[in-house]
Structure 1
Amino acid sequence: MKKNLFTLGLLFLSLLSLGQPFGNEIGIDEHLNDTLPLDLAFSNEQNQLVTLRQLIDRPTILAFVYFDCPGLCSPLQEGIADVVGKTDLVLGKDYQIITISFNFKDTPEKAAQKKANFITKMGAENAKSWYYLTGDSLAVVKILNSVGYKIKITGLDYAHPSAIIAISPQGKITRYLYGTSFFPFDLKMAVVEAQKGISRPTVNRILDFCYNYEPEGKRYTLEITKLVGIFTLIVLGAFFGILLIRNRRKSKNTTSN
């Protein structure tokens, strides 16, 4: 009981001092060019304490999940595992993957179980370069804030965005890729850019505007209202543009006469 109260107290203090990744908003504020807090310590799936500085020595694909997630987390991890085999990049040589649980109650034992579910197609050698990390509330809040990842607690579950983040060998945030499945070309470009330390905004960011996450259904739905609004503005803009051109032509004709 005392341990639980202490943990909750730490989380509360973290939220006050560092911002609120666990709030009422769901989404990502891109922090391109920012550097991760590399001295943060997490436990890996072997229950060894490691810092991000120790792990990140090459381009890294960073993903956030929680292990009891009934919605997006499994499709996200499956999407990552699937795209790994579709590029000519070599996992472990050209890049690595780090999955971090944002549920500070998750354990290294759970991390090991979840990792086993998603590396079956990849082979034991590749699995060595996909790390599954868990951490305390302070580390979780700091890492989420550093990448602009916003989560909402809904009962016993978390409503959260779905994305992977490319990190340079120096720990700089260089790209965000949104969704649960990824094109091999996009992943390759993200890794190449991360190696060079080049930051680029993602075209898929527009999808985050056009789609809305529904916590109840744990899915993304098309924002029809936003799209209709944009279409209406375009049509009105074109209409007024045509009227303006016509009025100018009439004025020129009147003047010339």
Structure 2
Amino acid sequence: MNGNGWKELFVLIGCALLAPALPAPGGTRSPGDLVRGIVYEQHLGQPVSPALTFVDDQGRTVQLGSYFRGRPVVLVMGYYRCPMLCGIGINATARTLEEFPPESSSRDFEFIFVSVDPAENYLAAAEKKSEYLRRLGWAPAAERWHFLTGGEAETAQLADQIGFRYRYDPETKQYIHPSGLVILSPEGKITSYLLGIDYPAAEFARALGNARRGEPGIVGQVISILCFSQSPAPGTVAYYVLIALRCGAVLTLGGVILLIRSKRRHPDRRYAEV
């Protein structure tokens, strides 16, 4: 695992320590109610509307279809000020991209991030884009990685089309949402979902190959990793018990990620071109 991978594993452990997902004793809210229905409903084979309008990182009004340029599309929804997993998911995409040589067809896609927060504007999008262009250090990304904001109606319509179920929690001022990538064909048809916060290069390349051919894949994992935190009162027994439980769960996840990463140190390069 490289330095970024270790950093993100520690972030996950930090999330476990800081964000146990149970209510404080005496609270009236049920975490089960808050996250119920927050999933990716996989709409394989369905199109997204090219006429939906958003604002790009330069403040220009754009249609979603303007990014359907003959390449597969990797679509992500979340929000720029997200304190949890949105950044980790984008980092995972960037890290996967770095595993392919510059000339690989698996780098040849349009990346679109759409904020679900109508309060965020193009300045937040521009800051995020600048951050990832510096990280990638790959000139074509300037024209192929797009960070958008939009109105509540357009965002909700896009979310509905791709099966992205989310909810705003006014108490924590967070958006509760699933984490993952939606892969579209060059014409904007949904062909694959890569859920979670780690996208193995072989799976990523396979998904892009299916999208390039316009062939829907099979329904992937149905267990969603949710981006949300709700903390019990510090100092309570529940607080410390849940810290221990969450640490155990996340360390187990970390072990799985380490195992996957170790197997990818000497990958079968056949996936580099799909």
1:181 has 2:194 as partner: no
Q: Distance in 2 between matches of 1:199 and 1:34?
A: 9
Q: What SS does the aligned partner of 2:75 have?
A: strand
Tell me if structure 2 keeps the 8 A contact 1:154–1:215. no
Residue 162 of structure 2 is matched in structure 1 by 147
How many correspondences in the alignment? 196
- Relative contact order (C-alpha < 8 Å, sep 6+): which is higher? 2
Tell me if structure 2 keeps the 8 A contact 1:87–1:188. no
Residue 133 of structure 1 is matched in structure 2 by 148
Of 122, 126, 137, the residue aligned with 1:112 is: 126
Of 230, 233, 237, the residue aligned with 1:216 is: 230
1:161 has 2:161 as partner: no
Q: What SS does the aligned partner of 2:178 have?
A: coil
Residue 74 of structure 1 is matched in structure 2 by 87
Residue 161 of structure 1, CA deviation = 0.4
Q: What SS does the aligned partner of 2:49 have?
A: coil
| Between 114-123 and 59-68, the greater mean CA deviation after superposition | 114-123
Q: In the superposition, relative to structure 1, how do residues 73 and 182 fare at CA in structure 2: closer, same or farther (>3 Å)?
A: same
Q: In the superposition, relative to structure 1, how do residues 82 and 133 fare at CA in structure 2: closer, same or farther (>3 Å)?
A: same
Q: What SS does the aligned partner of 1:160 have?
A: strand
How do 1:5-84 residues align onto structure 2 when only pairs under 5 Å count?
25-57=37-69, 58-84=71-97
**Bigger Rg, which one:** 1
TM-score (norm 1): 0.70
Q: What SS does the aligned partner of 1:98 have?
A: strand
Tell me if structure 2 keeps the 8 A contact 1:23–1:150. no
Q: What SS does the aligned partner of 2:209 have?
A: helix
Q: Which runs of 5+ in 2 are unaligned?
A: 1-33, 232-245, 250-274
Residue 200 of structure 1 is matched in structure 2 by 217
Residue 11 of structure 2 is matched in structure 1 by none
Residue 146 of structure 1, CA deviation = 0.2
Q: In the superposition, relative to structure 1, how do residues 70 and 172 fare at CA in structure 2: closer, same or farther (>3 Å)?
A: same
Q: Deviations over 1:31-60 (max 9, x none)?
A: 110000110011110111111111112200
TM-score (norm 2): 0.66
RMSD, matched Cα: 2.5
The structure where strand makes up a greater share of residues is 1
Of 165, 171, 176, the residue aligned with 2:188 is: 171
Q: Distance in 2 between matches of 1:199 and 1:128?
A: 26
Paired AA for residue 100 in structure 2: T
